Amino acid sequence: MKARRRQILSIVLLFGVAALLRITLASRHGLWADEFFSLAMATGHSLEHPAAEAVPVLGDFVESPEAVSATTWGRYLEHEHPPGPAARVVRAVLLSDTSPPLYYLLLYGWTRAFGTTDLALRLFSVMWALAAFPLLYLVGRRLGGRRVAVAACLLFTLAPASLYYSVEGRMYSLLWFLVLATAWLSLRLHDRGVRPMALPLWTLTGAAGLLTHYFFAFVWAACLMWLWLYPGRFPRRWLLAAAVGTGLLVLPWYLQVPASLGRWRITGSWLDGPLSLGQALTAPFTLAWRLLSGRGPWGGDLWVERIGVGLFLVLILVVATRAPRSVLSRGRRLVWFWLLFACAGPLTFDLLRGTHTSLVPRYALTGLPAAMLLAGMAMNRLGPALNATFLALVVLSWLPGIRVVWLNGTRSWDVYRQVAVRVAEWAGPSDLVVVHSIPSGVVGIARYLTPQTQVAAWIEQLGGRRVPEDIVRLLHGRGRVALVVIHSGAPAPEEGWLENHATPAGGFQLLNARVLYFEGRASP
């Protein structure tokens, strides 16, 4: 009884630590391009469409020919007054995104209730990450007992990848909740058979996942395959019925997917380009390791990462020699299928479509809970003393990564807030800020500028700007101009023209952003 109380206390304390870390971390960084995009979709504003297809009265982004206030651009990240209907969100997703709409629809409701501030957006993700915590414990306890459950929850609490993506204003923490719910319900159906609640919940959860991210399909297929191979008390005919039910629920959306994916988008080609043979052979293993690594998109130390690799190689060796069958038992095969499909699925997608999603760690994040569970199961085979020692060593190897996640002022090397703050200090009432970027970049810079700063968008991909005509018109009557080039992916012809026809007055480079200041009236 005392041991059980200690474990319950451990879980409560871990949950408290997980919540404290994530809530505190949520406000430490400015948003990055994908998070601006989340807010735009959730407020019913399409950003990525061709210029000719924009419908301004429906909130579509328009590259205004003239400079307008930063507040005007910022409205693309806010609800209108009164807010538009949820159908606007679905329309914006079809026009601009390559993901399903459920995350944005849920975020639509959340932001109507709590606003569209940076913190409100991030706390929505934190909420789902914390909601996944008890499900992780339940799955871990079912597959390995309380010690495995506590270990998995400890790893989830402190893993740099978990911390980093738990506070990102995207759908990844919602995916963790949904994949864990699907896995737990799969185990319940296996153990108890058809139940009035479990079967419809399994069907609905699968549909929710498939309407949140297309790569959820890999984990859903893993659960489906495991239940088919090891049905337990759950008749296969009911599994087929539930799978068909899930398919029918998502069919209205998926019928639109081919047309949606075939649309031109401003950043639609960023994943184009096939993998090399070496990349294809190593990608699934690299994706799996990134789930447990202390080093990733947030940064980290290469030598410390090598220590982490060594630790887990030792763990694999010990388990393989001591009790290989214990981690391959029937129930635990579900988690192996889950991790395998999550990490190999993007490779399959790439081979079919000629893309390179396998090189982007976030596309395997559905496998993160599985990695925590498998690590917890493996450590449990070491015995209590060695288990605690190994957990401590893993956490120590993660400390540099945790520190970087905590102290780094950027996400994905995007510096919108830092750049905007510095430009706002420079800009006066008669000055102009030209933002050469994608729509998310324009509205992102504008979000952090002072409200009345005059901002002109220059989105080369839309093909609506001309040099010198547009730059001359924009500069008419202006004393100074700041050119901000960030997250553009296209040449900046206005930069060369300004260098030749205006007086350079300094500037700065900050990671992926360049800012150039010019003074004096420009002439053609």
Q: What are 490-517's pLDDT values in tens digits?
A: 889 999 999 999 999 999 999 889 999 9
- Asked whether residue 75 is domain-assigned, the answer is no
Checking if the pLDDT of 261 tops 60, the result is: yes
Checking if the pLDDT of 410 tops 90, the result is: no
Do both 377 and 476 map to the same domain?
no
- Asked whether residue 322 is domain-assigned, the answer is yes
Domain housing 402: 2-30+117-263+271-407
Do both 315 and 396 map to the same domain?
yes
At residue 5, the pLDDT reads 79
- Asked whether residue 511 is domain-assigned, the answer is yes
Residue range 24-73, pLDDT digits in tens? 999 898 999 999 999 999 999 999 999 999 999 999 999 999 999 999 99
Do both 162 and 300 map to the same domain?
yes
Checking if the pLDDT of 433 tops 70, the result is: yes
CA distances 211 to 102, 104, 186, 216, 224, Å, are 5, 10, 19, 9, 17
End-to-end CA distance of the chain: 84
Do both 220 and 361 map to the same domain?
yes
Do both 450 and 387 map to the same domain?
no
Checking if the pLDDT of 23 tops 70, the result is: yes
Q: Could you tell me the pLDDT band of residue 14, with boundaries at 50, 70 and 90? A: very high
Do both 125 and 226 map to the same domain?
yes
- Asked whether residue 173 is domain-assigned, the answer is yes
Do both 390 and 444 map to the same domain?
no
Task: Give the chain's domain count.
Answer: 2
Do both 184 and 138 map to the same domain?
yes
Chain position carrying tokens 């293993």:
285
Q: What is the pTM of this model?
A: 0.95
- Asked whether residue 41 is domain-assigned, the answer is no
Do both 177 and 216 map to the same domain?
yes
CA distances 521 to 343, 377, 428, 456, 502, Å, are 56, 69, 15, 17, 7
Residue range 205-214, pLDDT digits in tens? 999 999 999 9
Do both 352 and 301 map to the same domain?
yes
Do both 175 and 287 map to the same domain?
yes
At residue 520, the pLDDT reads 65
At residue 1, the pLDDT reads 59
Residues contacting residue 182 through CB under 8 Å, at least 6 positions apart:
202, 205, 206, 209, 219, 220, 223
Please identify, among 387, 407, 427, the residue that sits at the C-terminal boundary of a domain.
Answer: 407
At residue 521, the pLDDT reads 55
Q: Could you tell me the pLDDT band of residue 291, with boundaries at 50, 70 and 90? A: very high
Highest mean pLDDT out of 300-304, 312-316, 482-486, 518-522: 482-486
At residue 220, the pLDDT reads 98
- Asked whether residue 316 is domain-assigned, the answer is yes
Q: Is 167 exposed, middle or buried (0-12, 13-18, 19+ CB in 10 A)?
A: buried
At residue 329, the pLDDT reads 83
The one-letter amino acid code at 220 reads: W
- Asked whether residue 49 is domain-assigned, the answer is no
Do both 238 and 365 map to the same domain?
yes
Question: Whole-number mean pLDDT of the chain?
Answer: 93
Please identify, among 381, 407, 433, the residue that sits at the C-terminal boundary of a domain.
Answer: 407
- Asked whether residue 174 is domain-assigned, the answer is yes
**Which position has the higher pLDDT, 382 or 176?**
176
Residue range 100-126, pLDDT digits in tens? 999 999 999 999 999 999 999 999 999
Q: Which whole number is the average pLDDT over 228-252?
A: 97
Please identify, among 358, 382, 407, the residue that sits at the C-terminal boundary of a domain.
Answer: 407
